Amino acid sequence: MRCKETPLLGRLGRLVLLLLAGLLALLCRPDAFLSLLVGHSDMEWAREVERENSTGHESAQGVVATESSFSVVGQTNSRQPGTQQAWVLHFGHAPPPLWERTYGGAGMLGASGHAIASLPRGGLVMAGTARGTEGGFWGWLLALSPDGEVLWERTPGHEGVHGFHAVSVLEDGSIVAGGTQDRVGWVVRMDSRGELLWDVKLPQLERVTALVSLPAQRVAVMGTAETSTTGLGISQLVMMESNGWASWQKQLPAEGKGELAALALLPDGGLVATGRLGQPDSSDWSLWVVRMDPRGEPLWEHVPDGLQVEAGRAITVLPDGGIAVAGLSWKELLVDRDAKVWRFSAEGNLLWQKLCGGVKNDMGNGIARLADDSLVVVGSTLSKGAGKTDLWTFGLSPEGELLWEETFGSP
C-alpha cells in the first residue's frame, strides 16, 4: 500500500533533496554550487564582472617630493592581469616619468603600495600590504635605489590581517612604518639596512593612519579607534619615544566623532592634520583641518560652514607656514566624487579651494610641494584616461591654477 504524501512532507522532502544537491555541488563543483545558489545567468554575470575588472584599474595613494623630483606610489592590475601589484613612478618636475616599476614578487598573491618616503641618499622606501599564499596579509616594506632597484624587502610580523598605511624616515636614517596588525594599531622601526629595531602594538588604536618623524628619533603617530561601518570613529595622537614607548596621547576631537587621515610637521615643531569631522545630529561629515602645538593641543580648526560632505586625505606644509590639503568632495553622495584641493594660511584662513575631476568618480589621495612652490596632487580618476580607473596626477600653481595633468593606465 502506498502512503499519500502530505504537502508538508513533500515540501520537506524537496528541501532536503535540494540541500543534498547543493552540498554535493559545493564539495565537487564549487562553480556548480554558485550556479545553483544564484542561478546560471547571475553566475555568468558574476564571471563577466570578474573578467572585466581583472585588468584596467590603477590608482595613486601617495607622493613624496625632493628638490628636483617627485615619486608616486599606488597599484595596478594591468601589468599582470588578475594580480594587483604595487606601482612606483618617478618624475622630474612634471610628466613623463623618468622611470616606473611594479613590485610584488614570489610568494605573493598580490601587493599594493600605500605610502612613500625619501631615503637620505636619494632612494625611496615604500610601505604597503602584501597578500600571502595562505590567503592572509602582511605589512610590507620595500627600500629602493634612486633608479627603482630593490635594495631590501621585509614583511615583519606574521601573516594575518595586517598592512602598513604610513611611512617616514628618522634623522639617523632608520625607518618607521605604521598600520594594522591583528586589528590594532602597529608601529615598526627598522634600521637603514632593514633590520628590525622594535615593533609596538597600540591597543588604544584600531589602525595607524599617519605618522611623522620628529627630532631625537621620536615619532608622532595618528590613528583611529571606535570605528564602525556606519559612522566615524575617534582619532588619537600618540607620541612615541625613540625606544617605542608611548609617552602621551591626545584624543581628537575632544567631543563628537572625527577621523584624521594625514599628519604633517610644522617648522615650529607643531603638527597639522586633516580628515573628516562628524556633523552634530547627523550621519554626514565635513572637511576637518586642525593645527596643534607640540603637545597636541589644538590652536585652530577649520570646518566649513553649511553642509558640505568633504574629507581631507593628504596634507603638505608650505614655506610660509601655510598648508595645502588634498581630498574629495561628494557631488552625489555614495555615487560620485570630485578631487578637491584647499590652501590655508598659517593662521588657518582659507585662501582658495579648487575642484578637480570630470563627470565620473575622481579622488585626491596625495599632495606634495615642489621646489618651485607649485603643488603636485595624485589620486585616481574614472573621468579621464585609457582605463577603467586610471592613476591620476596634476600640478597646481601656488594660486591654484592647473599647470599640467596626466593619467596612467591601461584599457
Considering only CA atoms, which of 396, 367, 395 is closest in space to residue 379? 367
Q: Does the pLDDT of residue 116 top 70, yes or no?
A: yes
Please state, in angstroms and rounded to a whole number, the distance separating the CA atoms of residues 227 and 236: 12
Give the confidence band of 264 by pLDDT, cuts at 50, 70, 90: very high
Same domain assignment for residues 175 and 276: no
Whether residue 395 lies inside any domain: the answer is yes
User: Residue 108 maps to which CATH number?
Assistant: 2.130.10.10
Q: Which residues of 102-123 are buried (b: 16+ CB within 10 A; e: fewer)?
A: bbbeeebebbbbbbbbbbeeeb
Give the confidence band of 9 by pLDDT, cuts at 50, 70, 90: very low
User: Residue 322 maps to which CATH number?
Assistant: 2.120.10.10
Give the confidence band of 17 by pLDDT, cuts at 50, 70, 90: very low
Same domain assignment for residues 267 and 214: no
Whether residue 46 lies inside any domain: the answer is no
CB neighbours (10 Å) of residue 276? 24
Q: Does the pLDDT of residue 29 top 60, yes or no?
A: no
Whether residue 367 lies inside any domain: the answer is yes
Same domain assignment for residues 405 and 351: yes
Same domain assignment for residues 303 and 272: yes
Q: Domain total for the chain?
A: 2
Same domain assignment for residues 389 and 276: yes
Considering only CA atoms, which of 176, 142, 180, 178 is closest in space to residue 160? 180
Whether residue 304 lies inside any domain: the answer is yes
Same domain assignment for residues 196 and 270: no
Whether residue 325 lies inside any domain: the answer is yes
Q: 224-257, pLDDT tens digit by residue?
A: 999 887 789 999 999 999 999 999 999 999 999 9
Provide the pLDDT for residue 7. Answer: 40
Same domain assignment for residues 194 and 258: no
- Supply the range of the domain harboring residue 218: 63-230
Residue with cell 553622495: 333
Whether residue 165 lies inside any domain: the answer is yes
Same domain assignment for residues 225 and 366: no
- On average, the pLDDT of the chain sits at 88
Q: Does the pLDDT of residue 55 top 70, yes or no?
A: yes
Q: Does the pLDDT of residue 259 top 50, yes or no?
A: yes
Same domain assignment for residues 274 and 388: yes
Give the confidence band of 47 by pLDDT, cuts at 50, 70, 90: low
Same domain assignment for residues 109 and 213: yes
Whether residue 32 lies inside any domain: the answer is no
Please state, in angstroms and rounded to a whole number, the distance separating the CA atoms of residues 163 and 59: 18
- Among 172, 197, 230, which residue terminates a domain? 230
- Higher-confidence residue of 34 and 89: namely 89
Same domain assignment for residues 99 and 142: yes
Considering only CA atoms, which of 318, 325, 403 is closest in space to residue 364? 325
- Higher-confidence residue of 67 and 395: namely 395
- Among 175, 196, 230, which residue terminates a domain? 230
- Among 215, 230, 245, which residue terminates a domain? 230
Provide the pLDDT for residue 34. Answer: 44
Q: Which whole number is the average pLDDT over 158-167?
A: 91
Whether residue 150 lies inside any domain: the answer is yes
Same domain assignment for residues 138 and 213: yes
Q: Which whole number is the average pLDDT over 355-377?
A: 95
Give the confidence band of 107 by pLDDT, cuts at 50, 70, 90: confident
